[in-house]
Amino acid sequence: MNTPRRATIADVAQAAGVSKATVSRFFNHRERLLSDDIAARVEAAIAQLGYTPSPMAQALSRGRSRLIGLIVADITNPYSVAVLRGAEKACQDAGYLVMLFNMGNETGREREAIDALAGYQVDGFILNTLGRGAGVVDAVATHGKPAVLVDRRHAGMTADFVSLDNPGAMARICAHLLDNGWRELLYVTEPQQGVSTRRERAAAFGACLAAHPTALRGEVFESAEGEDEALVQALRALRRRAGRSRRAAVVAGNAVITLRVAQAMNRLGWQFGQELGFLGFDDPEWASLIGPGLSTLAQPTDEIGRTAAGCLIERLHGLEGPAREMLLPGRLQVRGSSAAPIKAA
């Protein structure tokens, strides 16, 4: 069973009794210049040999590869995966293949990732990375390939940007909590540390408080990985602050925090919506299963991914113009954890 070598363009040319150029034209400039007679012969030869052009060779020759490089900060993150899913589908539908690079949360490998992908002549990048590594901006610039940023901006980088409308989402969250009688809020976020999304959301939370200076009171708490005890204490403090007269709720800044807060509540033996209100982020699959149900702000992850891929592909098709910013609206999924107190009948 020796290797029945893939048919090449030369094989087809020979079988059809034409030149390689003609075969190439059959694929690239068909209608424009090719006689029916020859076209038919080429087509037959192609069918007979089961010929498919080698994308590798095409890439080398054209300088374009129909490959899109997707760099993800951490593929463990369900958000990243959800986006990846949407993007991958859109790319496939447009005839592009995705090359995946997972950084495993190791900041600083960004440059390495970009270079590796660029080596394979990817036509463009979709970046969902931390945005801390300095190299990214000029790494992308160097290769002169278009890129689109997902969820996280990169300082000084001018590229299409796709993300949740954070201010809008946070406004909706706060309005909902306000409506339902929650007065003392705690916004829990991962360390903000130069990650644009986290800063934006925290800022938006602050803005909401400022908009209701008398009704709402709130603080921001940064919860780092592994420091579970600190979070538990923060929740205790929150309840203490609220006292008997005000109802207290916690708002999670992303899916990781949502889980972490849920675990902390579990440790405390507190019920959502009872001892503490809770509004999570990213609508995990278990939101409806736990206690009275977890209210969440669901991101349109699939659409974010599709939009990002769409933006990039438009650029690849030649779209010029300034960097765009696509902010997609979130959806408030109300469940029991943020419900208004039951009025005495």
Q: Cα angle at 329 between 94 and 131, to 5 degrees?
A: 70
Q: Which does 239 bind (CB under 5 to 8 A by kind): DNA, a second copy, none?
A: none
Three-class DSSP category at 246: coil
Stretch that binds DNA, among 19-27, 221-229, 237-245, 272-280 (CB under 7 A): 19-27
Would you say 14 or 102 has its CB closer to a second copy? 102
Task: Please answer whether residues 126 and 70 qualify as being in contact, where contact means their C-beta atoms are separated by less than 8 angstroms.
Answer: yes
Handedness of CA 231, 233, 237, 240 (dihedral sign): positive
Please, which of residues 116-155 interact with a second copy by CB under 8 A? Answer: 116-117, 119-121, 142, 144
Q: Where are the alpha helices (DSSP H) in the chain?
A: 9-16, 20-28, 36-49, 55-62, 78-93, 110-119, 135-143, 166-179, 196-211, 228-242, 255-268, 301-316
- Closest to 278 in 3D by CA, of 338, 334, 237, 333: 338
Q: Please, what is the minimum distance in Å from the beta carbon of residue 317 to DNA?
A: 15
Q: Which does 144 bind (CB under 5 to 8 A by kind): a second copy, DNA, none?
A: a second copy
Task: Please answer whether residues 316 and 65 qualify as being in contact, where contact means their C-beta atoms are separated by less than 8 angstroms.
Answer: no
Task: Report how many residues bind a second copy under the rule CB under 8 A.
Answer: 46
Q: Which does 39 bind (CB under 5 to 8 A by kind): a second copy, DNA, none?
A: DNA
Would you say 82 or 204 has its CB closer to a second copy? 82
- Helix (H) and strand (E) counts in the chain: 12, 12
Q: Cα angle at 268 between 267 and 271, to 5 degrees?
A: 105
Contacts of 255 (CB under 8 A, 6+ apart): 77, 78, 79, 280, 281, 282, 284
Q: Which of 34, 59, 232, 339 binds a second copy (CB under 8 A)?
A: 59
Bridge-based pairing state of the strands 97-102 and 67-72? parallel
Q: Please, what is the minimum distance in Å from the beta carbon of residue 306 to a second copy?
A: 13
Stretch that binds a second copy, among 67-75, 185-193, 243-251, 312-320 (CB under 8 A): 67-75
At residue 230, φ and ψ (nearest 5 deg) are -60, -40
At residue 188, φ and ψ (nearest 5 deg) are -105, 125
Contacts 24+ apart (CB under 8 A), 135-141: 135/108, 135/110, 135/111, 136/110, 136/111, 139/110, 139/111, 139/114, 139/115, 140/114
Q: Which of 10, 19, 21, 55 binds a second copy (CB under 8 A)?
A: 55
Distance CA 38, CA 36 (A): 6
Build a one-symbol-per-residue string for 79-98: x at contacts with a second copy by CB under 8 A, - elsewhere: --x--xx--xx--x----xx
Q: Please, what is the minimum distance in Å from the beta carbon of residue 37 to a second copy?
A: 29
**Residue 47 found at the interface with a second copy (CB under 8 A):** no
Handedness of CA 242, 248, 253, 259 (dihedral sign): positive
Please, which of residues 32-71 interact with DNA by CB under 7 A? Answer: 32-35, 37-39, 51-54, 56-58, 60-62
Q: Which of 26, 79, 101, 161 binds a second copy (CB under 8 A)?
A: 101
Q: Which does 262 bind (CB under 5 to 8 A by kind): a second copy, DNA, none?
A: a second copy
Task: Report how many residues bind DNA under the rule CB under 7 A.
Answer: 32
**Residue 25 found at the interface with DNA (CB under 7 A):** yes
Q: Which does 242 bind (CB under 5 to 8 A by kind): a second copy, DNA, none?
A: none
Would you say 95 or 213 has its CB closer to a second copy? 95
Stretch that binds DNA, among 23-31, 69-77, 224-232, 253-261 (CB under 7 A): 23-31
Would you say 1 or 33 has its CB closer to DNA? 33
Please, which of residues 286-345 interact with a second copy by CB under 8 A? Answer: 286, 288-290
Interaction site with DNA (CB under 7 A): 5-6, 8-10, 17-22, 24-25, 27-28, 32-35, 37-39, 51-54, 56-58, 60-62
